[in-house]
Amino acid sequence: MMKELDFYKQWCCVMLNYLCKQDIETSEGVLNNADARLKAIQRFDDLKNKMLIDFKKGSITKMKRWFSACNENPPYPNEPDYPILNAQLLAACGKGLDDLFKKRWERIAKIKERGKLRTDSEFYLINEHMDYLINMGAPDEETELFDSMLFDYEERARKRREKREKQEKDKS
């Protein structure tokens, strides 16, 4: 089995190559503009070099951050890029998007069972999951449940912010 640090490096390299390709393909006019295409490639090469510096330093914390950043918006199983990227990751790392989504589905199931969001990362995960549900045409009950969780979390955050602002004002 691949060491954890090596795993993160391989995964991030594959994902950065994918993200670079996506950036080039989705940017208007880039396909016909060699300079813009070159700049996009250079931008991702710079990111990859920064990631490799963290790898060489042996910083597992920074490599985990790279991993999280690279996986913020992977293709979903119903998208055409999914099988290709999944195969590339499996070949390079021994794990693929299926493993990533399995963990994600498990986290979503725990949140759903709990019925409440606790952290900003859970908020962003569920917000992204809502986009997925809407695109997949999920039942209204499912989207309404997660939508109410998002709303409740935002309300609690607003109340905390107002309380903090009041306390700061009272100190003044």
Q: What is the DSSP string of 100-128?
A: HHHHHHHHHHHHHHHTS--SHHHHHHHHH
Range of 138's domain? 115-172
Q: Name the domain count of the chain.
A: 2
Q: From CA 125, how far away is CA 100, in angstroms rounded? A: 13
Could you tell me if 60 and 5 are in contact, meaning their C-beta atoms sit under 8 angstroms apart? yes
Tell me if 121 is assigned to some domain: yes
Please tell me whether residues 1 and 75 are part of one structural domain.
Answer: yes
In this structure, the dihedral spanned by the alpha carbons of residues 113, 117, 123 and 129, taken in order and rounded to 10 degrees, is 10
Angle, vertex CA 161, rays to CA 156 and CA 165, nearest 5:
150
Q: Does the pLDDT value for residue 170 go beyond 90? A: no
What's the pLDDT at 2?
56
Please tell me whether residues 91 and 127 are part of one structural domain.
Answer: no
| Confidence band for 1, pLDDT divided at 50, 70 and 90 | very low
pLDDT tens, residue by residue, 108-117? 999 999 999 9
Among 31, 65, 96, give the residue marking a domain's end: 96
Among 96, 123, 153, give the residue marking a domain's end: 96
Tokens 């999914």 found at? 82
pLDDT tens, residue by residue, 140-154? 888 899 999 999 999
Could you tell me if 133 and 110 are in contact, meaning their C-beta atoms sit under 8 angstroms apart? no
Tell me if 8 is assigned to some domain: yes
Q: Does the pLDDT value for residue 74 go beyond 90? A: no
Please tell me whether residues 63 and 132 are part of one structural domain.
Answer: no
Indicate the DSSP class of residue 31.
Answer: G
What's the pLDDT at 31?
54
Please tell me whether residues 8 and 91 are part of one structural domain.
Answer: yes
What's the pLDDT at 28?
60
Tell me if 104 is assigned to some domain: no
Lowest-confidence pick of 8-22, 32-46, 53-67, 73-87 = 32-46
